[in-house]
């Protein structure tokens, strides 16, 4: 019995080691894909600022013109930073807050947001969900090895003398 437990334990450790190798490529894929999506959405809002302003006004948001510009810039510039892995956690926080506000500003999405536990299919079926979740993943796990943050961290890391 001890031999079976030992074999299972070694197999599990081997599997987790193998899966750990996929973490950084997965984080990079999330950052690249959703960073590009954020950038496209931000550019779309920036180039159609009048329509976005009207939409924000219809939601009774304060200062809809300023809010539209701010959201467009957060998504465009934040998306570029997100994609590159630059100031990743700070950028992910800004994008996460932005997407949380998107959830809470639109009446149908607001209802879906509060269904997170009672009707999860409503929550993850709402349009901000995938953006919100991508930002949350990078906020919690960081950008991974394939990022400017990692390069900067290595560049400025204290050098150990032997």
Q: What is the pLDDT of residue 6?
A: 86
Distance CA 106, CA 125 (A): 14
Q: Which of 74, 128, 79, 126 is nearest to 100 (CA)?
A: 128
**Running DSSP on this structure, what letter comes out for residue 142?**
-
Asked if residues 78 and 102 have their Cβ atoms less than 8 Å apart, the reply is: no
Up-side HSE of residue 58: CA atoms within 13 Å toward CB? Answer: 8
Q: The domain containing residue 32 runs over which residues?
A: 2-156
Q: Is residue 161 part of a domain?
A: no
Per-residue pLDDT of 19-65, as tens digits, reads 888 899 999 999 999 999 999 999 999 999 999 999 999 999 999 99
The three-state DSSP-derived secondary structure of 17-55 is: HHHHCCHHHHHHHHHHHHHHHHHHHHHHHHHCHHHHHHH
114-118: list long-range contacts, CB under 8 Å, 24+ apart: none
Mean pLDDT across the stretch 123-137? 93
- Provide the whole-model pTM: 0.86
Q: Cβ neighbours of residue 133 under 8 Å, at least 6 residues apart? A: 124
Per-residue pLDDT band for 162 (boundaries 50, 70, 90) equals low
Q: Is residue 73 part of a domain?
A: yes
Number of domains the chain is built from: 1
Q: Is residue 162 part of a domain?
A: no
Q: Is residue 65 part of a domain?
A: yes
Distance CA 82, CA 30 (A): 9
Per-residue pLDDT of 70-113, as tens digits, reads 999 999 999 999 999 999 999 999 999 999 999 999 988 888 88
């Amino acid at each position: 019995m001890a031999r079976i437990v030992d074999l299972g334990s070694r197999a599990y450790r081997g599997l987790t080691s193998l899966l750990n190798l996929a973490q950084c490529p997965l984080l990079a894929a999330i950052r690249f894909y959703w960073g590009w999506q954020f950038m496209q959405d931000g550019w779309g809002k920036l180039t159609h600022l009048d329509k976005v302003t009207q939409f924000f006004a219809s939601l009774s948001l304060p200062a809809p013109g300023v809010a539209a510009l701010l959201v467009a810039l957060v998504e465009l510039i934040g998306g570029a930073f997100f994609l590159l892995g630059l100031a990743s956690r700070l950028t992910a926080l800004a994008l996460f807050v932005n997407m949380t506000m998107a959830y809470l500003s639109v009446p149908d999405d607001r209802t879906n947001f509060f269904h997170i536990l009672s009707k999860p299919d409503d929550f993850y079926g709402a349009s901000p969900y995938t953006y919100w979740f991508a930002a949350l993943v990078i906020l919690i796990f960081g950008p991974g090895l394939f990022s400017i943050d990692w390069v900067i961290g290595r560049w400025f890391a204290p050098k150990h003398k032997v």
